[in-house]
């Protein structure tokens, strides 16, 4: 699915909307009397339904990003993932439940959402690798992604050419430089490379902030946040059983 974007949209990877991220620690989430440091911790723990020991390890893990790398992306723990996690958008329904708890329990989070009123909430994953998960939860600006890739490639080629030129110049000298002269040459080369890298970063930042095309993806997280903001609730319905420390998560919150 493609989303046309326009000035005034909200991209929740930006610092001013960073609280929308599940990995932020300002808004812990409590479930069945257990407090999780972030909503991401709870979401990961629910993936391990039926394995309370692993859920406790996840709950106590200090950093949600590394927790995800180990327990979600690591091969060691994949056999323990919920067997229906990716069936019929079950994971999206679980996320609705988790973010619904976060919304109910955190006044600050509700205020942050309200600040985005009238804007389109999009999880901009342009700078991430294009995986099924990235496209499901967010959106990518593929034209912007190509431009950034071109900038990085050009910078890499220029740096390589500059290094080769410096090597050739050194090799052509009739006699080796003194130690002091070599240090000056090395410092000059390092400064040139740093300037090229800084220019490439500046170009990337300019592209990210000012070049707007079309975002492609399902933007599931953006839709969840938008629904919460505009209606004050999010309905979920779990097609498969889900447990946290042996207690079953309610199958739905629909009235």
pLDDT, tens only, 165-213:
999 999 999 889 999 999 999 999 999 999 999 999 899 888 877 777 6
Residue 10 has pLDDT above 70, yes or no: no
Q: Compute the distance between CA of residue 77 and CA of residue 244 in angstroms, rounded to an integer.
A: 17
Residue 87 has pLDDT above 90, yes or no: yes
What mean pLDDT comes out for the span 115-135?
A: 80
Q: Which residue carries 């839709």 as its tokens? A: 223
DSSP code per residue over the chain = -EEE--TT-EETTSGGGGGGSTT-TTS-EEETTEEESSHHHHHHHHHTTT-HHHHHHHHH-S-HHHHHHHHTS-GGGGGGS-TTTTGGGHHHHHHHHHHHHHHHH-HHHHHHHHHTTTS-EE-B-TTS---HHHHHHSBEEHHHHHHHHHHHHHHHHHHHHHHHHHHHHHHT-SSPPPHHHHHHHHHHHHHHHHHHHHHHHHHHHHHHHH---EEES--HHHHHHHHHHHHS----B-SS--EETTEEPPSB---
Report which of 25, 33, 1, 6 is spatially closest to residue 246, judged by C-alpha positions: 33
Q: Which residue carries 């099924």 as its tokens? A: 132
Q: Compute the distance between CA of residue 46 and CA of residue 86 in angstroms, rounded to an integer.
A: 13
Distances (CA, A) of 136 to 114, 219, 223: 24, 6, 11
pLDDT of residue 136: 82
9 vs 77, more confident: 77
pLDDT of residue 140: 80
Q: How confident is the model at residue 13 (pLDDT cuts 50, 70, 90)?
A: low
pLDDT of residue 138: 82
Domain spans in the chain, listed from the N-terminal domain onward: 2-139+217-248, 143-210
Q: What is the assigned CATH class of domain 2-139+217-248?
A: mainly alpha
What mean pLDDT comes out for the span 106-123?
A: 89
The average confidence (pLDDT) of the chain is 89
pLDDT of residue 5: 42
pLDDT, tens only, 29-46:
999 999 999 999 999 999
Report which of 159, 158, 136, 154 is spatially closest to residue 207, judged by C-alpha positions: 154
pLDDT, tens only, 154-178:
999 999 999 999 999 999 998 899 9
Rg of the Cα trace of the chain? 24
What mean pLDDT comes out for the span 110-123?
A: 88
């Amino acid at each position: 699915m493609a989303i046309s974007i326009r000035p005034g949209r909200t991209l929740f990877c930006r610092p001013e909307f960073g609280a929308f991220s599940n990995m932020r620690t300002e808004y812990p989430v409590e479930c069945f009397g257990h407090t999780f440091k972030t909503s991401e911790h709870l979401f990961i723990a629910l993936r391990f339904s039926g394995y309370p020991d692993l859920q406790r390890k996840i709950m106590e893990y200090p950093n949600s990003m590394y927790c995800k790398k180990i327990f979600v992306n690591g091969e060691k723990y994949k056999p323990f993932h919920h067997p229906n996690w990716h069936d019929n958008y079950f994971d999206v329904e679980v996320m609705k439940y988790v973010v619904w708890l976060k919304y109910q329990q955190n006044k600050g989070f509700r205020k942050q959402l309200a600040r985005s009123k009238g804007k389109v909430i999009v999880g901009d994953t342009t700078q991430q690798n294009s995986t099924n998960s990235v496209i499901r939860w967010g959106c990518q600006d593929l034209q912007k992604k190509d431009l950034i890739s071109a900038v990085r490639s050009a910078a890499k080629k220029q740096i390589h050419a500059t290094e080769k030129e410096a090597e050739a110049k050194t090799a052509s000298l009739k006699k080796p430089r003194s130690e002091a002269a070599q240090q000056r040459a090395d410092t000059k080369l390092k400064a040139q490379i740093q300037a090229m890298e800084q220019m490439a970063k500046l170009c990337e930042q300019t592209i990210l902030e000012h070049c707007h095309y079309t975002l492609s993806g399902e933007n599931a997280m953006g839709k969840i946040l938008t629904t919460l903001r505009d209606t004050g609730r999010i309905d979920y319905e779990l097609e498969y059983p889900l447990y946290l420390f042996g207690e079953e998560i309610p199958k739905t919150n629909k009235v």
